[in-house]
């Protein structure tokens, strides 16, 4: 897995690429929580994720909970089919704010 963080429209966008598994999830977790620790709103771009396991999902859940406690915005954008199927299995597609693009998320923020 690799990741990149960029700023876009008031969000830190954490773009994850590849397999987010047990060996990679600590890095994903660190990137997400690092942005939140700086009081930044976070969107995690999962469009290039080819596989995600429970440890990767746990990193997303921790980010969501941390953002909520800090009154920050958190969401997922561009969720790949591979990632979406795992989120649906865990019924987390009903928990996370999920949008196709950052522009769609911004419109939803209203």
Q: Is residue 39 part of a domain?
A: yes
When pLDDT is cut at 50, 70 and 90, the band that residue 109 belongs to is confident
Q: Is residue 108 part of a domain?
A: no
Structural contact between residues 69 and 37, judged by C-beta atoms closer than 8 angstroms: no
Structural contact between residues 32 and 56, judged by C-beta atoms closer than 8 angstroms: no
Distance CA 85, CA 43 (A): 19
Q: Is residue 110 part of a domain?
A: no
DSSP character for 23?
T
pLDDT tens column, 25-83? 999 999 999 999 999 999 999 999 999 999 999 999 999 999 999 999 999 999 999 99
- Contact residues for 91 (Cβ-Cβ < 8 A; gap 6+): none
Q: What is the CATH number of the domain that holds 64?
A: 3.30.750.24
Q: What is the domain extent for residue 10?
A: 2-100
pTM (2 d.p.): 0.96
Q: Is residue 62 part of a domain?
A: yes
**Domain total of the chain:** 1
Q: Is residue 86 part of a domain?
A: yes
Q: Is residue 36 part of a domain?
A: yes
Distance CA 3, CA 72 (A): 21
């Amino acid at each position: 897995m690799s990741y990149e963080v960029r700023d876009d429209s008031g969000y830190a966008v954490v773009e994850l690429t590849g397999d987010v598994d047990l060996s990679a999830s600590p890095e994903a977790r660190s990137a997400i929580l690092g942005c939140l620790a700086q009081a930044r709103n976070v969107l995690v771009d999962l469009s290039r994720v080819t596989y995600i396991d429970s440890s990767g999902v746990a990193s997303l859940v921790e980010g969501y909970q941390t953002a909520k406690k800090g009154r920050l915005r958190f969401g997922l954008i561009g969720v790949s089919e591979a990632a979406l199927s795992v989120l649906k299995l865990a019924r987390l597609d009903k928990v996370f704010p999920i949008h196709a693009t950052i522009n769609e998320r911004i419109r939803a923020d209203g």
